[in-house]
């Protein structure tokens, strides 16, 4: 069977060779020079470029109309609309440049194809023109830089101003996300990769009092309109916690703690109604290649009212509750139910 | 020993261990075409998975065996294909292939030199390049498969075989191969720089050099300054992988055990990698822009508009390319203030780029355009450069990067602006200089079909990806099925795969045309495109030393097309100025 396939491929190649050869010979007989760029070629290609450019611009607007509705819904965080507006401004600007340049390119190619007896204009430079089209992009870009950096600083330094923000740690490992809540003391306990074992998935330091009431979950819950100060860690490989609906992303780097502060402002329920989709859920997506099952790494995110949040958090097991008489070992075993799964 | 002596050569010294720049150029080109076919087929195979998620294709099992059980790609091997596709295209094809081919062919011929400054180093640069390619091919067949950590091979993923099978032997071969590539790039780059500075013929001042040489000159400088940093990044990674050091590794618990590595930082690797990685983008792009400058001026029968502004913008782009690398790392948790600096430097790159585009457009204005296949590909390059360039303004803005970092928007952006655009520049160069390389002409009609199908497919593949990226689809995903929100793109992914497959088949048309024309194409004349630069004054038959007699003296710039008061619409550079005539570039 295989031999047959190779044989067919081989025959196909010979056939292709012969077809080109006979085509060339017939062209030669007809007196056409196939290597010469003929007048017909010039006219045909210039028309094709013009039509192609129009078609391309048409495709651009068509895709904008068709796929535009697939884009992310309105941002569900306080800083999100700022980013979206910056995007819209930039997008409109570059669309104008994109369309104009292409129309000019298409028009010139169409208008100035080679004609007999026509001589091109000897035009080497024009300093005024060049200064103008250096200066205009420079000014526009400096405005964009200023605007972009304003938004960037607002977003990235937000956490420093947020008092009373909810602290949450997002933890990535092959191929699963975990979240850690600080518990009543509002302080996340110390943790180290050295303490990780089957019953201590995030390597919390059992000698640190602050770690005792920490709560580890496999879903991420946040309170609507309450600022979140999120820190990120990784157990093994670089992951990237990407929450597109909130316009939030930060890498989780082993050996480093990274952070992002933001305020979710739409509950999951609100989004479900808005999108007319009962099954909608916010997600954390892994957005940095982290291994074979990279594409499966996701965590469900719920944004809800304070009451719902408290109720949910109350049901989650505490890492090590020292106000009960349960032995430490038992509780750690209980924590082991958050499985240390890997694919 | 005079270079111009014509001495008899054996088959081996002429075709294999050749020190003649024209032969080395062909060696680079053919190697690059071979590697490009491999990388292109890889993309078709992984596109099959993306377009038809989980469906069985018996051909995949036939080709990949255990890596595609039942005709469905293994998720780990999918990443291996993506990684090798990127590595081969970026390094073998668009760096080694593009610069290697055209720098070798054009620098001595357009500067008016008998050969490169050192023919021996030049030969070595090809052989190190070949070793790199052999390493890449061999790595596909080793236990665990080839490198699978993405073409940027970020540690810890690339450092730990426990993390992904490709980080075993395959990764070792990748890194050692890359060291070979750096050696090749440095030997070549130094040679190019020295040749351009020292071996220009009489009258060929720097301000009379064709823009292609300027582009290759700046490319070589970028390469010599940045490739050593890649070498150090690779060496440190080799140390971490094989000798237990901790440059990039710290605080890792994997495969059920805590590793001993402590104190390193994976972000350090990213800084070192992108210190090469960003200039690398321009190492790829500048030669393509240089080539199309020649092709556009010659086929529009007009001087290139704003010659000095073109040089200035290339110098500016080259300089800026060294201080923008951080824009690949906005989301690594680096200080937001540092991010701000990189935003500013990155967006400024748009200024010289815009100047170049406007100058190309003005060059076409009131031209007398001959649409040879080379010219079509050059116009295609300009179009792709515009389309891909403008989206860079979005990606370079850190605040916007938060949401589109590492999504398909990035994939669309770089495939258009440095992938397709540079490949189109390379095609333009091949069609344009084929008569000089092989003494024969390529078939134009096949060239037209090649161009039109390719450009439609390129936009068909990459344009819709912008929308996927804006909807948050991450790159390097084996399947989008785990996220309901991406289901809307199922049909789009089928179309992208269809376009990618068609475009890859059309490339075989080019390859047939290429090899057929080498042997059976019509014999070329000395100056088939009626161009001005010096390479078209050499005889069709290649001779060692390039010119049979004395090297021609240069009297004017390379762009005297359609100069008023001249008999022809072109005046070669070796034609003396008439009395009272001013050299156009000044």
The pLDDT tens digits of the residues spanning B473-488 come to 999 999 999 999 999 9
Q: Which residues of B touch A339 (CB under 8 A)?
A: none
Taking the C-alpha atoms of residue B300 and residue B542, their distance in angstroms, rounded to an integer, is 28
ipTM confidence? 0.92
Q: Give the pLDDT score at A93.
A: 95
Closest residue by Cα to residue B171 from B198, B197, B148, B203: B148
- Rounded to an integer, the average pLDDT of B220-239 is 95
**Nearest-CB residue to A152 (from B149, B336, B372):** B336
* DSSP state for residue B366 in the 8-state scheme: T
Do residue B79 and residue A294 have CB atoms under 8 angstroms apart? yes
CA distance B252 to B523: 64
pLDDT digits (tens, 9 = 90+) for A170-193: 999 999 999 999 988 888 999 999
- pLDDT recorded at residue B113: 94
Instruction: Look over chain B and give the mean of its residue pLDDT values, rounded to a whole number.
Output: 93
pLDDT band at residue B11 under the 50/70/90 scheme:
confident
pLDDT per position as a tens digit, B530-574: 999 999 999 999 888 899 989 999 999 999 999 988 888 899 999
The chain A residue lying nearest B404, using CA atoms, is A244
User: Which pLDDT score, from 0 to 100, does residue B255 have?
Assistant: 87
List, for residues B184-214, the tens digit of each pLDDT value: 999 999 999 999 999 999 999 999 999 999 9
Question: Would the CB atoms of A235 and B254 count as touching at under 8 Å?
Answer: yes
Q: Residue A339 has what pLDDT?
A: 42
CA–CA separation, A56 vs A52, rounded Å? 6
- Nearest-neighbour CA in chain B from A230: distance (Å): 12
Buried b / exposed e along B265-288 (16+ C-beta atoms within 10 A) = bbbebbbbbbbbbbbbbbbbbbbb
Summarize the confidence of residues A321-342 as an average pLDDT: 44
- The 3-state secondary structure of B25-59 reads HHHHHHHHHHHHHHHHHHHHHHHHHHHCCCCCCHH
Residue in B423, B421, B428, B359 with CA at minimum distance from that of residue B390? B421
**B529: which 2 tokens?**
């495109």
- Core vs surface per residue B318-350: b (16+ CB within 10 A) or e: bebbebbbbbbbbbbbbeeeebbebbbbbbbbb
For residue B453, the model assigns a pLDDT of 95
Whether B255 is covered by a domain: the verdict is: no
Contact list in B for residue A87 (CB cut-off 8 A) is: 394, 400
A334-343 per-position pLDDT tens digit = 444 444 433 3
Task: Give the domain extent around B328.
Answer: 17-247+263-537
DSSP-derived 3-state class of residue A298: strand
Give me chain A's average pLDDT, please: 87
pLDDT of residue A63: 92
Confidence of residue A35 (pLDDT cuts 50, 70, 90): low
Element (H, E) at A233: strand A228-234
Residue of B305, B424, B465, B474 best to disrupt the A interface, most CBs of A under 10 A:
B474
3-class secondary structure, A39: helix
Put simply, the answer to whether B489 touches A70 (Cβ < 8 Å) is yes
C-alpha closest to that of A293 among A337, A341, A253 = A341
The pLDDT score that the predictor gives to residue A336 is: 43
Q: Which residues of B touch A98 (CB under 8 A)?
A: 386-387, 390
Q: What order do you get walking across the sheet with A166-173 strand by strand?
A: A215-217, A176-181, A166-173, A228-234, A258-262
Chain B nearest CA to A324, separation (Å):
31
DSSP for B285-326 reads HHHHHHHHHHHHHHHHTSPPTTHHHHHHHHHHHHHHGGG-GG
Q: How far is B368 from chain A (nearest CA, A)?
A: 4
Residue A34 pLDDT grade (very low, low, confident, very high; cuts 50, 70, 90): low
First to last CA, chain B: 38
pLDDT confidence bin for B45, thresholds 50/70/90: very high
* pLDDT at position A1: 64
Say which CATH number the domain at B126 has: 1.20.210.10
Question: Which one of A27, A47, A248, A255 makes the best mutation probe of the B interface by having the most chain B beta carbons within 10 Å?
Answer: A255
Percent of chain B at pLDDT > 70 equals: 98
Determine the average pLDDT of the residues in B166-182. 94
Facing residue for A134 by CB, picked from B250, B351, B474: B351
Q: Is residue B554, in this structure, part of any structural domain at all? A: no
Question: Would you call A119 and B368 a contact, using CB atoms and an 8 Å cutoff?
Answer: yes
Mutate to test the interface with B, among A70, A118, A262 (most CBs of B within 10 A): A70
Pairing of strands A228-234, A166-173: parallel
Q: Is the peptide bond before A291 cis (omega within 30 degrees of 0)?
A: no
- Under the banding of pLDDT at 50, 70 and 90, the label for residue B372 is very high
Q: What is the pLDDT of residue B16?
A: 80
Using left for φ > 0, alpha for ψ between -120 and 50, and beta otherwise, residue B71 falls in left
Whether residues A137 and B351 touch (CB distance < 8 A) is answered with yes
DSSP string across B221-270: HHHHHHHHHHHHHHHHHHHHHHS---SS--S-EETTEE-S--S--HHHHH
| Cβ burial, residue A241 (10 Å; 0-12/13-18/19+) | buried
Section B6-14 average pLDDT: 70
CB contact under 8 A, A253 and B364: no
Query: Is the pLDDT at B38 greater than 90, yes or no?
Result: yes
Chain A residues with CB-CB distance to B417 below 8 A: none
Distance CA B450, CA A13 (A): 18
Residue B579, domain member (yes or no)? no
Q: Please give the pLDDT value at position A117.
A: 82
- The yes-or-no verdict on residue B295 having pLDDT over 70 is yes
| Confidence category of residue A330, pLDDT binned at 50, 70, 90 | very low
User: For the segment B135-148, what is each residue's pLDDT rounded down to a tens digit?
Assistant: 999 999 998 899 99
Q: What is the pLDDT of residues A260-290, one digit of tens each?
A: 999 999 999 999 999 999 999 999 999 999 9
* A65-91 per-position pLDDT tens digit: 999 889 999 999 999 999 999 999 999
DSSP characters over A96-154: HHHHHHHHHHHHHHHHTB--TT---------HHHHHHHHHHHHHHHHHHHHHHHHHHHH
pLDDT of amino acid A198: 82
Between strands A215-217 and A239-243, the pairing is unpaired
Q: How many C-beta neighbours within 10 Å does residue A60 have?
A: 17
Query: Tens of pLDDT along B429-452?
Result: 999 999 999 999 999 989 999 999
Q: Are B253 and A124 in contact (CB < 8 Å)? A: no
Would you call A149 and B472 a contact, using CB atoms and an 8 Å cutoff? Answer: no
User: For chain B, what is the domain count?
Assistant: 1
Residue B555 lies in a domain: no
User: Where in chain A are the domains?
Assistant: 166-335
Cα B257 from Cα B280, distance rounded (Å): 38
- Give the pLDDT confidence of A96-141 residue by residue, as tens digits: 999 999 999 999 999 999 888 888 899 888 999 999 999 999 999 9
* Residues of B in Cβ contact (< 8 Å) with A94: 390-391, 393-394
| pLDDT confidence of residue A201 | 87
**Distance of residue A320 Cα from the nearest chain B Cα, in angstroms:** 22
pLDDT at A321: 53
Kindly state whether residue B558 falls inside one of the protein's structural domains.
Answer: no
Is the predicted pLDDT of residue A92 greater than 80, yes or no? yes
- The answer on pLDDT for A212 being more than 90 is no
Pick the CATH number of A166-335 from 3.30.360.10, 3.30.1330.10, 2.60.40.420, 3.10.20.30: 2.60.40.420
- Rounded to 5 degrees, what are φ and ψ at B247? -70, -40
Domain presence at residue B552: no
Asked if A152 and B364 come within 8 Å (Cβ–Cβ), the reply is: no
- In a domain? residue B571: no
Answer for the pair A30, B440: CB distance below 8 angstroms, yes or no.
no
Closest CA to B101 of B276, B219, B230, B278: B219
- B48-70: per-residue pLDDT in tens? 999 999 899 998 898 888 899 99
Beta bridge partners of A217: A179
Asked whether the predicted pLDDT for residue B8 surpasses 70, the reply is no
B321 touches B300 (CB < 8 A): no
What is the helix (H) or strand (E) element at residue B8, kind and residue range? none
Chain-chain contact of A295 with B478 (C-beta, under 8 angstroms): yes
């Amino acid at each position: 069977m295989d031999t047959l396939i190779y044989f067919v491929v081989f025959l196909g190649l010979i056939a292709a060779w012969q077809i080109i050869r006979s085509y060339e010979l017939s062209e030669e007989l007809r007196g056409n020079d196939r290597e010469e760029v003929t007048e017909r070629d010039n006219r045909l290609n210039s028309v094709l470029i013009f039509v192609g450019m129009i078609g391309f611009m048409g495709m651009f607007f068509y895709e904008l109309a068709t796929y535009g509705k697939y884009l992310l819904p309105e941002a569900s965080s306080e800083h999100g609309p700022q980013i979206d507006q910056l995007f819209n401004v930039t997008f409109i600007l570059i669309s104008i440049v994109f369309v104009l340049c292409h129309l000019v390119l298409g028009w010139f190619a169409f208008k100035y194809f080679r004609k007999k007896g026509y001589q091109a204009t000897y035009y080497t430079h024009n300093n005024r023109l060049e200064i103008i089209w250096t200066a205009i992009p420079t000014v526009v870009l400096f405005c964009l830089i200023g605007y972009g950096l304003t938004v960037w600083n607002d977003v990235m330094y937000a956490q420093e101003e947020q008092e009373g923000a909810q602290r949450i740690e997002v933890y990535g490992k092959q191929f699963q996300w975990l979240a850690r809540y600080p518990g009543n003391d509002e302080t996340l306990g110390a943790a180290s990769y050295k303490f990780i074992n089957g019953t201590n998935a995030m390597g919390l330091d059992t000698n640190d009092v602050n770690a005792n009431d920490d709560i580890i979950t496999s879903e991420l819950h946040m309170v609507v309109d309450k600022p979140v100060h999120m820190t990120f860690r990784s157990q093994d490989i670089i992951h990237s916690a990407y929450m597109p609906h909130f316009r939030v992303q930060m890498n989780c780097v082993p050996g480093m703690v990274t952070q992002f502060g933001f305020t979710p402002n739409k509950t999951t329920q609100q989004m479900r109604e808005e999108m007319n989709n009962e099954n909608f859920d916010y997600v954390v997506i892994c957005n940095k290649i982290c291994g074979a099952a990279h594409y499966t790494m996701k965590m469900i995110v719920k944004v809800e009212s304070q009451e719902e949040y408290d109720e949910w958090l109350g049901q989650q097991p505490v890492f090590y509750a020292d106000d009960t008489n349960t032995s430490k070992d038992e509780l750690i075993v209980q924590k082991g139910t958050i499985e240390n799964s890997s694919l | 020993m005079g270079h111009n002596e014509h001495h008899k050569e054996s088959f081996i010294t002429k075709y294999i261990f050749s020190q003649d720049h024209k032969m080395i150029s062909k060696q680079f080109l053919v190697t690059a075409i071979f590697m490009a076919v491999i990388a292109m087929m890889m993309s078709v195979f992984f596109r099959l998975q993306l377009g038809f998620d989980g469906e069985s294709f018996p051909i995949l099992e036939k080709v990949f065996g255990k890596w595609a059980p039942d005709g469905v790609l293994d998720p780990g091997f999918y990443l291996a294909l993506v990684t090798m596709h990127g590595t081969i295209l970026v390094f073998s094809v668009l760096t080694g292939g593009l610069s290697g081919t055209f720098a070798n062919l054009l620098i001595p011929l357009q500067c008016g030199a008998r050969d490169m400054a050192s023919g021996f180093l030049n030969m070595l640069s090809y052989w190190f390049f070949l070793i790199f390619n052999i390493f890449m091919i061999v790595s596909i067949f080793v236990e665990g498969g080839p490198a699978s950590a993405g073409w940027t091979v970020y540690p810890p993923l690339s450092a730990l075989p426990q993390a992904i099978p490709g980080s075993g032997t395959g990764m070792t071969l990748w890194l050692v191969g890359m060291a070979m590539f750096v050696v090749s790039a440095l030997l070549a780059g130094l040679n190019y720089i020295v040749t351009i500075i020292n071996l220009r013929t009489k009258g060929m001042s720097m301000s009379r050099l064709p823009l292609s040489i300027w582009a290759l000159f700046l490319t070589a400088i970028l390469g010599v300054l940045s490739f050593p940093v890649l070498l150090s990044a690779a060496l440190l990674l080799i140390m971490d992988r094989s000798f237990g050091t901790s440059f990039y590794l710290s605080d890792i618990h994997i495969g059920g055990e805590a590793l001993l590595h402590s104190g390193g930082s994976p972000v350090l690797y990213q800084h070192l990698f992108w210190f090469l990685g960003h200039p690398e983008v321009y190492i790829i792009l500048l030669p393509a822009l240089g080539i199309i400058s020649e092709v556009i001026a010659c086929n529009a029968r007009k001087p290139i508009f704003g010659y000095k502004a073109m040089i200035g913008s290339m110098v500016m782009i080259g300089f800026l390319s060294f201080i923008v690398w951080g824009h690949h790392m906005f989301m690594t948790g680096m200080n937001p203030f540092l991010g701000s600096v990189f935003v500013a430097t990155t967006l400024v790159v748009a200024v010289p780029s815009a100047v170049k585009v406007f100058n190309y457009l003005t060059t076409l204005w009131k031209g007398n355009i001959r649409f040879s296949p080379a010219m079509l590909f050059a116009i295609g390059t300009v179009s792709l450069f515009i389309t891909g360039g403008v989206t860079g303004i979005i990606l370079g803005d850190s605040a916007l990067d938060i949401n589109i970092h590492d999504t398909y928007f990035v994939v669309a952006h770089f495939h258009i602006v440095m992938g397709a655009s540079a490949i189109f520049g390379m095609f333009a160069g091949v069609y344009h200089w084929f008569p000089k390389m092989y003494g024969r002409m390529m078939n134009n009609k096949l060239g037209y079909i090649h161009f039109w199908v390719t450009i439609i497919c390129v936009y068909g593949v990459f344009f819709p990806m912008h929308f996927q990226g804006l909807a948050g689809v991450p790159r390097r995903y084996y399947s989008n099925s785990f996220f309901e929100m991406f289901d809307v793109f199922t049909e789009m992914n089928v179309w992208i795969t269809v376009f990618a497959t068609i475009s890859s088949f059309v490339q075989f048309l080019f390859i047939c045309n290429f090899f057929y024309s080498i042997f059976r194409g019509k014999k070329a004349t000395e100056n088939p495109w009626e161009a001005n630069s010096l390479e078209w004054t050499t005889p069709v038959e290649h001779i060692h030393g390039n010119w049979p007699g004395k090297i021609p003296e240069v009297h004017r710039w390379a762009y005297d097309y359609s100069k008023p008061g001249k008999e022809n619409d072109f005046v070669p550079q070796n034609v003396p100025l008439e009395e009272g005539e001013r050299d156009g570039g000044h």
